Amino acid sequence: MVTVLGSGDSLLRVIETAFPAADIHVRGNEISAVGDPADVALISRVFDEMMIVLRTGQPLTEDAVERSIAMLKASGNGEGDGDETPAQVLTQNILSSRGRTIRPKTLNQKRYVDAIDKHTIVFGIGPAGTGKTYLAMAKAVQALQSKQVNRIILTRPAVEAGERLGFLPGTLYEKIDPYLRPLYDALHDMLDPDSIPRLMAAGTIEVAPLAYMRGRSQPIFTNVLTPEGWRPIGDLQVGDLVIGSNGEPTPVLGVYPQGERDIYRVAAQDGSWTLCCGEHLWTVRTASDKRRDKPWRVLETQEMIGNLRAGHARRYELPLLTAPVCLPEREVPMDPYALGLLLGDGCLTGSTTPSFATEDPELAVALESVLPGVAVHHKGGPDYVLNRVKSPGDVVTLENPVTRVLRDLDLLRTRSNSKFVPDVYLENSAEVRLAVLQGLLDSDGGPVVQKDRTCRVQYATTSVLLRDDVIALVRSLGGVAYTRRRAAEGRTPGRAKGRDVGYRHDAHVVDIRLPEGIEPFRLARKLDRYHEAGGGGRPMRFIDSIEPAGREETVCIQVAAEDSLYVTQDYLLTHNTLNDAFIILDEAQNTSPEQMKMFLTRLGFESKIVITGDVTQVDLPNGTKSGLRQVQDILEGVDDVHFSRLSSQDVVRHKLVGRIVDAYEKYDSAHGTENGSRQGGRGGAGPKGK
């Protein structure tokens, strides 16, 4: 009974104050109440709810009893619209930290917490002190600890009380810090303070002003791969298709110009590179992540600067295509494997009948089998001639079919240092691209075997164009290619017909690794050697450097791919939406409509967004609409979006705060103002402020 009645009967006095017309008597272990039947019934329910709470081992406070009485009175007056009881509200634990349990304290708070569990996007709207941000933070930490998400992102618009950041003292971070301090304080209540810097350094927790959330962008001239080939990202529109990490087309869901921003050049160790801003997102993993079977993490460009090495090894591995890029099949004038062979060992000068040189008769037979109307005749040694097959009755000299096709492809009269792969083959189906690559490798490539290592493929050419085309073919199939130059000057001359033959052009050597299931050769001896050495292993690509590259006009896109990845320059995979994250936008009344739309469209897969704010405390400049006010009209009723509205009855700070909120609402109602100001003024509800 001491626990039920409270120390010095403090809890009993709360109940007596709430029901002044009833007489409550305590005799031993019995409590009786006399008065209006409705009051007696409510008093009985209050004690029942108190007993349920106490049986869970939780202490009762005067404040909890007051809230229980308010909930039961609201339910008895028909104001409640649910079946929740005070005991259910007061015993719902969200998070326990350092001996303290965080739980909702009012019915609306419980419904707010439940909505976060049930919906992807939740708006918590209400006056200060109602626990909007604090409860959302508790749910975020709970989701992180239970591994429902991989990271927490906390953000606020850096606009308060009309202040301008530029006039505040200190560095940029010192200017921003006061606006984010409430988020830091809540974090320290819920996590071990010593662990917070470590989690923030690892990118598991990100605290940043809203402006930092918007700029995950690339320069407008950066190429992005589409089913029609490469296009500048600045030319893309909503509905256009780009290529995702699985090689399949995925639609663009949003295009957001970001203005001029500082740009970085992100380069991988295989020579690939692209440009992006400091907040642009990259999916990466470390050797430790791989060893511990951890999922890939998402980091901003600026988070990796200065942290690119682990000892002598590169730290961050980038994902590769999980399947060859799927491009529409296009009709080609010559079999792609035959083209690859001719680009490797064919004479395409046009001064003589097209010829082919190989020490493997198997290649000559294969070439003849895929060139209709052409016979491959052996001249002697490694030399073969490609003659047109004459039909009975031919009386005029017809052009060699191979010569005609080479002329159509602009390959006629090209030499070893000027050959290239025509675009119609580069931008074709995976089968066509692989066949061209196999022809090139069967003629001018080969397996390289090293002890205790998987087999790599090496290709050499004196043509810079052909080198780049081979690299593009390899990358489009999900592989990696490294290139190095072997200078002609100073090299020991070769021998031909008993005489020295010097090198006229530098050679470009390309080392290739292709994913499992992609066969680099058709020539039997090379293919057998490749498989005997264990195949090509696993292609890998690591970030090598991140360097400033000036300022450029930028844009960001959102794609529909499940992992949010798209193929950018040099077949690098990058993205700019937030997957597996719990994202909280606090003080959302100070966002503009454009900022609110930008923030909502950052939502990635397996993520959750909670947006909190008080529409009566808008600090935006005159004439600027509040994004939080507008979004209620736009998204109300949209599936998986929920609006939780809290009131002064849900204030859990000092009791006086609730009375202050009520007083302001009463004043505004009587004087036609909002937040103590004329409607239509700063933060008002007039034509400009709504």
Q: Set out the domains of the chain in order of their start, with CATH numbers.
A: 1-91 (no CATH), 94-155+170-202+589-690 (3.40.50.300), 216-320+541-574 (2.170.16.10), 336-532 (3.10.28.10)
**Among 138-142, 514-518, 548-552, 595-599, the least confident range:** 595-599
Tell me the two tokens of residue 181.
């301090």
Tell me the two tokens of residue 209.
């002003």
What sign has the CA pseudo-torsion 189, 190, 194, 199?
Answer: negative
For 554, which DSSP code? E
Please write the tens of the pLDDT for every residue from 471-490. 999 999 999 999 999 888 87
Determine the residue type at 631.
V
Mean pLDDT, residues 251-262 taken together: 83
| Maximum separation of any 2 CA atoms in the chain, in Å | 128
List the alpha helices (DSSP H) in 202-272.
210-214
Helices 37-55 and 62-76: angle between axes, nearest 10 degrees: 130
Indicate if the pLDDT at residue 23 is higher than 90: no
Q: What is the rounded CA–CA span in Å between residue 562 and residue 606?
A: 9
Please write the tens of the pLDDT for every residue from 62-82. 777 877 777 777 766 545 555
In this prediction, residue 521 carries a pLDDT of: 95
Q: Between the CA of residue 688 and those of 580, 596, 623, 664, what are the distances in Å?
A: 38, 18, 5, 22
Q: Is the pLDDT higher at 396 or at 153?
A: 153
CB of 253 closer than 8 Å to CB of 290: no
Instruction: State pTM to two decimals.
Output: 0.66
Q: How sure is the predictor about 686, in pLDDT bands with cuts at 50, 70 and 90?
A: very low
Beta-carbon contacts of 312 under 8 Å, excluding residues fewer than 6 positions away, are none
Tell me the two tokens of residue 39.
């009051």
List the alpha helices (DSSP H) in 477-592.
524-532
In this prediction, residue 78 carries a pLDDT of: 46
In this prediction, residue 680 carries a pLDDT of: 46
CB of 354 closer than 8 Å to CB of 406: yes
Q: What is the rounded CA–CA span in Å between residue 679 and residue 482?
A: 65
Please write the tens of the pLDDT for every residue from 660-683. 777 777 777 776 665 544 444 443
Q: How sure is the predictor about 188, in pLDDT bands with cuts at 50, 70 and 90?
A: confident
Tell me the two tokens of residue 343.
């680009």
Q: What is the rounded CA–CA span in Å between residue 544 and residue 308?
A: 7
Tell me the two tokens of residue 104.
């909702």
Strand partners, 385: 355, 377
Tell me the two tokens of residue 445.
């490539």
Q: Between the CA of residue 365 and those of 42, 377, 384, 442, what are the distances in Å?
A: 97, 10, 11, 13
Beta carbons within 10 angstroms of residue 623's beta carbon: 10
In this prediction, residue 324 carries a pLDDT of: 95
Beta-carbon contacts of 211 under 8 Å, excluding residues fewer than 6 positions away, are 157, 158
CB of 209 closer than 8 Å to CB of 155: yes
Please write the tens of the pLDDT for every residue from 281-316. 888 899 988 888 887 877 888 889 989 998 889 999
Beta strands in 540-605 (DSSP E): 541-559, 566-568, 572-574, 581-585
For 497, which DSSP code? T
CB of 340 closer than 8 Å to CB of 440: yes
